[in-house]
Amino acid sequence: METNMNQKTKKITVLVQFIISVAFLTGLDQWTKYLAVQHLKDQADIPLIPNVLYLHYLENRGAAFGLFQNQFIFFGIMTVLILCAVLYVLWRMPSEKKYLLLRIICFIICAGAIGNFIDRVRLNYVVDFIYFSPINFPVFNVADIYVVVSMALFLISFLFFYKEEDFAFLSGKGIKK
Protein backbone atom coordinates (compact mmCIF):
# COMPACT_ATOMS: atom_id res chain seq x y z
CA MET A 1 0.00 0.00 0.00
CA GLU A 2 2.78 2.42 0.92
CA THR A 3 4.61 1.69 -2.33
CA ASN A 4 1.45 2.49 -4.29
CA MET A 5 1.01 5.73 -2.32
CA ASN A 6 4.68 6.56 -2.86
CA GLN A 7 4.22 6.06 -6.63
CA LYS A 8 1.19 8.36 -6.64
CA THR A 9 3.11 11.01 -4.70
CA LYS A 10 5.99 10.81 -7.18
CA LYS A 11 3.60 11.07 -10.15
CA ILE A 12 1.93 14.11 -8.59
CA THR A 13 5.35 15.66 -7.94
CA VAL A 14 6.33 15.17 -11.59
CA LEU A 15 2.99 16.65 -12.69
CA VAL A 16 3.55 19.73 -10.52
CA GLN A 17 7.12 20.07 -11.82
CA PHE A 18 5.77 19.75 -15.36
CA ILE A 19 3.12 22.44 -14.88
CA ILE A 20 5.51 24.89 -13.21
CA SER A 21 8.35 24.31 -15.69
CA VAL A 22 6.19 24.46 -18.80
CA ALA A 23 4.32 27.53 -17.52
CA PHE A 24 7.60 29.33 -16.77
CA LEU A 25 9.24 28.43 -20.10
CA THR A 26 6.09 29.22 -22.09
CA GLY A 27 5.74 32.51 -20.23
CA LEU A 28 9.34 33.38 -21.09
CA ASP A 29 8.70 32.59 -24.76
CA GLN A 30 5.52 34.70 -24.81
CA TRP A 31 7.26 37.59 -23.06
CA THR A 32 10.08 37.64 -25.64
CA LYS A 33 7.48 37.62 -28.43
CA TYR A 34 5.62 40.49 -26.75
CA LEU A 35 8.88 42.44 -26.62
CA ALA A 36 9.52 41.63 -30.29
CA VAL A 37 6.11 42.99 -31.28
CA GLN A 38 6.57 46.11 -29.14
CA HIS A 39 10.12 46.94 -30.21
CA LEU A 40 10.85 45.23 -33.53
CA LYS A 41 7.66 45.34 -35.60
CA ASP A 42 7.97 47.81 -38.48
CA GLN A 43 11.56 48.58 -37.43
CA ALA A 44 14.91 47.98 -39.08
CA ASP A 45 16.87 44.90 -38.02
CA ILE A 46 18.90 45.27 -34.84
CA PRO A 47 22.35 43.68 -35.08
CA LEU A 48 23.36 41.83 -31.92
CA ILE A 49 26.55 40.56 -33.57
CA PRO A 50 27.03 42.39 -36.90
CA ASN A 51 26.94 40.08 -39.92
CA VAL A 52 26.01 37.15 -37.68
CA LEU A 53 23.00 37.58 -35.37
CA TYR A 54 20.10 40.01 -35.74
CA LEU A 55 16.76 40.79 -34.19
CA HIS A 56 14.38 40.74 -37.17
CA TYR A 57 10.59 40.75 -36.78
CA LEU A 58 8.67 38.22 -38.88
CA GLU A 59 5.08 36.96 -38.81
CA ASN A 60 5.42 33.29 -39.72
CA ARG A 61 2.27 31.57 -40.99
CA GLY A 62 4.06 28.31 -41.69
CA ALA A 63 7.00 26.30 -40.40
CA ALA A 64 10.73 26.65 -40.99
CA PHE A 65 11.81 27.31 -44.58
CA GLY A 66 8.29 28.51 -45.47
CA LEU A 67 6.80 25.03 -45.33
CA PHE A 68 3.11 24.42 -44.56
CA GLN A 69 1.96 28.03 -44.97
CA ASN A 70 -1.46 28.75 -43.40
CA GLN A 71 -1.95 25.14 -42.25
CA PHE A 72 -3.57 25.94 -38.89
CA ILE A 73 -5.35 22.59 -38.57
CA PHE A 74 -2.16 20.66 -39.33
CA PHE A 75 -0.21 22.56 -36.66
CA GLY A 76 -3.05 22.17 -34.17
CA ILE A 77 -3.21 18.41 -34.67
CA MET A 78 0.59 18.10 -34.48
CA THR A 79 0.68 20.10 -31.23
CA VAL A 80 -2.00 17.93 -29.62
CA LEU A 81 -0.24 14.73 -30.77
CA ILE A 82 3.12 15.94 -29.44
CA LEU A 83 1.62 16.92 -26.08
CA CYS A 84 -0.25 13.61 -25.76
CA ALA A 85 2.86 11.60 -26.63
CA VAL A 86 5.04 13.53 -24.18
CA LEU A 87 2.47 13.28 -21.39
CA TYR A 88 2.20 9.53 -22.01
CA VAL A 89 5.99 9.20 -21.78
CA LEU A 90 6.08 11.27 -18.58
CA TRP A 91 3.29 9.22 -17.00
CA ARG A 92 4.95 5.89 -17.83
CA MET A 93 8.48 7.02 -16.98
CA PRO A 94 10.01 5.57 -13.81
CA SER A 95 10.84 8.11 -11.11
CA GLU A 96 14.49 7.08 -10.93
CA LYS A 97 17.08 9.85 -11.04
CA LYS A 98 18.56 8.52 -14.27
CA TYR A 99 15.40 9.72 -16.04
CA LEU A 100 15.74 13.33 -14.85
CA LEU A 101 17.30 14.46 -18.15
CA LEU A 102 14.52 12.79 -20.12
CA ARG A 103 11.89 14.50 -17.92
CA ILE A 104 13.54 17.89 -18.51
CA ILE A 105 13.61 17.23 -22.27
CA CYS A 106 9.87 16.47 -22.13
CA PHE A 107 9.18 19.70 -20.23
CA ILE A 108 11.17 21.77 -22.73
CA ILE A 109 9.61 20.30 -25.87
CA CYS A 110 6.11 20.84 -24.46
CA ALA A 111 6.91 24.48 -23.69
CA GLY A 112 8.10 24.97 -27.27
CA ALA A 113 5.02 23.34 -28.77
CA ILE A 114 2.66 25.29 -26.51
CA GLY A 115 4.47 28.60 -27.04
CA ASN A 116 4.07 28.50 -30.81
CA PHE A 117 0.55 27.08 -30.55
CA ILE A 118 -0.53 30.03 -28.41
CA ASP A 119 0.65 32.37 -31.17
CA ARG A 120 -1.19 30.41 -33.87
CA VAL A 121 -4.46 30.42 -31.89
CA ARG A 122 -4.17 34.04 -30.77
CA LEU A 123 -2.67 35.65 -33.89
CA ASN A 124 -2.95 33.12 -36.74
CA TYR A 125 0.83 33.31 -37.09
CA VAL A 126 3.96 32.78 -34.99
CA VAL A 127 6.11 35.73 -34.00
CA ASP A 128 9.72 35.05 -35.01
CA PHE A 129 12.51 37.50 -34.33
CA ILE A 130 15.97 35.89 -34.18
CA TYR A 131 17.95 35.72 -37.41
CA PHE A 132 21.30 33.93 -37.84
CA SER A 133 22.67 35.37 -41.08
CA PRO A 134 25.88 33.44 -41.95
CA ILE A 135 23.90 30.48 -43.27
CA ASN A 136 20.69 32.40 -44.05
CA PHE A 137 18.89 30.34 -41.40
CA PRO A 138 15.12 30.90 -41.11
CA VAL A 139 14.04 33.50 -38.56
CA PHE A 140 13.09 31.76 -35.31
CA ASN A 141 11.99 32.38 -31.72
CA VAL A 142 12.53 31.08 -28.18
CA ALA A 143 9.93 28.30 -28.56
CA ASP A 144 11.80 27.07 -31.64
CA ILE A 145 15.00 27.02 -29.59
CA TYR A 146 13.23 24.90 -26.98
CA VAL A 147 12.17 22.35 -29.61
CA VAL A 148 15.58 22.17 -31.30
CA VAL A 149 17.55 22.00 -28.04
CA SER A 150 15.24 19.35 -26.56
CA MET A 151 15.49 17.22 -29.70
CA ALA A 152 19.30 17.58 -29.75
CA LEU A 153 19.47 16.64 -26.05
CA PHE A 154 17.21 13.66 -26.68
CA LEU A 155 19.35 12.45 -29.58
CA ILE A 156 22.59 12.87 -27.61
CA SER A 157 21.15 11.20 -24.51
CA PHE A 158 19.68 8.36 -26.58
CA LEU A 159 22.99 7.75 -28.35
CA PHE A 160 25.35 8.13 -25.39
CA PHE A 161 23.49 7.86 -22.09
CA TYR A 162 20.35 5.75 -22.25
CA LYS A 163 20.22 2.18 -23.47
CA GLU A 164 17.37 0.59 -25.38
CA GLU A 165 16.19 -1.25 -22.27
CA ASP A 166 15.89 2.08 -20.43
CA PHE A 167 12.85 2.75 -22.63
CA ALA A 168 11.10 -0.54 -21.84
CA PHE A 169 8.70 1.41 -19.62
CA LEU A 170 7.01 2.72 -22.77
CA SER A 171 5.79 -0.73 -23.74
CA GLY A 172 4.65 -1.59 -20.24
CA LYS A 173 7.30 -4.30 -19.96
CA GLY A 174 9.65 -2.20 -17.87
CA ILE A 175 9.58 -1.94 -14.11
CA LYS A 176 7.65 1.12 -12.95
CA LYS A 177 9.19 2.83 -9.96
Question: What are the C-alpha distances in Å from 5 to residues 89, 100, 156, 173?
Answer: 20, 21, 34, 21
Residues 58-93: b if buried by 16+ CB within 10 A, e if exposed: bebbbbeeeeeeeeeeebeeebeebbeebeebbeeb
Contact between 25 and 33 under an 8 Å Cβ cutoff? The reply is no
Q: What one-letter code names the amino acid at 137?
A: F
Q: What are phi and psi of 114, to 5 degrees?
A: -70, -40
Q: Does 172 map to a domain?
A: no
- Mark whether 45 is an active-site residue: no
Q: Looking at the 3D structure of the chain, how many domains does it have?
A: 1
Q: Which of 29, 119, 144, 166 is catalytic?
A: 144
Q: Does 135 map to a domain?
A: yes
Q: Which of 29, 45, 119, 128 is catalytic?
A: 128
- Mark whether 29 is an active-site residue: no
Say yes or no to pLDDT of 55 above 80: yes
pTM: 0.88
- Tell me: the pLDDT tens digits for 71-120? 888 889 999 999 999 999 998 999 889 999 999 999 999 999 999 999 99
In what order do the strands lie in the sheet containing 53-60? 46-49, 53-60, 126-132
Q: Does 173 map to a domain?
A: no
- For 77, the domain range is 2-166
Range of weakest confidence among 5-19, 86-100, 137-151, 161-175: 161-175
